[in-house]
Amino acid sequence: MPHLLHLDTSARSDSFSRELGATFVDHWRAAQPNGTYTYRDLVKDPVEPIDEAGSRLVTESSVHGVQDLAAMDELASAPELAPAWAVTRPLIHALLSADVLVIGAPMYNFSVPGSLKTWMDRVTLPWLPLSGKTAVILSARGGAYGPGTPREPFDFQEPYLRAYFSTLNLTDIEFVHTELTHAPAVSRLAHLRDIHDTSRATALDRVKELAHRLPPTVRSA
């Protein structure tokens, strides 16, 4: 029975990345009637930024060579770490339970929103095993960053997330971008509206296609 974890991180409710995520989920649930689904809106229901104890979870799991959740539970039972682990553990459990991770991720200042970065800082421990999972990043950008565009070198969103997930051994990662999202509302960008419309339609088609073929294989346990 595949499990989908879906995170939204846009500050806007009328959001293109949320539109992609909702479309993915509708199609995925139709394709996977026995699949299970967990959702968190990291803007309406934010994760607390890490504090001293949260940062110690990261360093001490390295120092002590923690390899799995059971060893982490033991290490983090220390009174000074336990409150931070109480925040982090459910986030990690939700992540480890997922076969497919879908993240709605707008581009903010050429990278990811703070709501997503805060979640990453919380869940990322050196031993976290994400191999075998698939991540789908559903992005929206005010500008255009594709190959050959003047802003291509400013894209620190996709390369950053690829690097991040690859260090956690998650290499099965798909990116879908809706670009030029400012064009519909900004009159000086009116000449770009057709390109935006095509980008949005292509992204929605791609999301539907991905929703019908993920996960590629379902874990037996």
Ligand X SMILES: Cc1cc2nc3c(=O)[nH]c(=O)nc-3n(C[C@H](O)[C@H](O)[C@H](O)COP(=O)(O)O)c2cc1C
Minimum distance between the CB of residue 8 and ligand X, rounded to whole angstroms?
Answer: 8
Q: For 88, what's the count of Cα atoms within 13 Å in the CB-facing half-sphere? A: 27
Query: Using CA atoms, how far apart are residues 80 and 99, in angstroms rounded to an integer?
Result: 32
What binding mask, one character per residue, do residues 94-113 give for ligand X by CB under 6 A, x or -?
Answer: ------------xxxxx---
| Contact flag: residue 177 with ligand X (CB under 6 A) | no
Structure tokens at 3: 């499990």
Minimum distance between the CB of residue 40 and ligand X, rounded to whole angstroms?
Answer: 16
Q: Which stretch binds ligand X (CB under 6 A): 16-24, 43-51, 126-134, 183-191?
A: 16-24
**Which residue from 17, 88, 115, 124 is in contact with ligand X, where contact means CB under 6 A?**
17
What binding mask, one character per residue, do residues 132-151 give for ligand X by CB under 6 A, x or -?
Answer: --------xxxx--------
Give contact residues for ligand X (rule: CB under 6 A): 10, 12, 15-18, 106-110, 140-143, 181
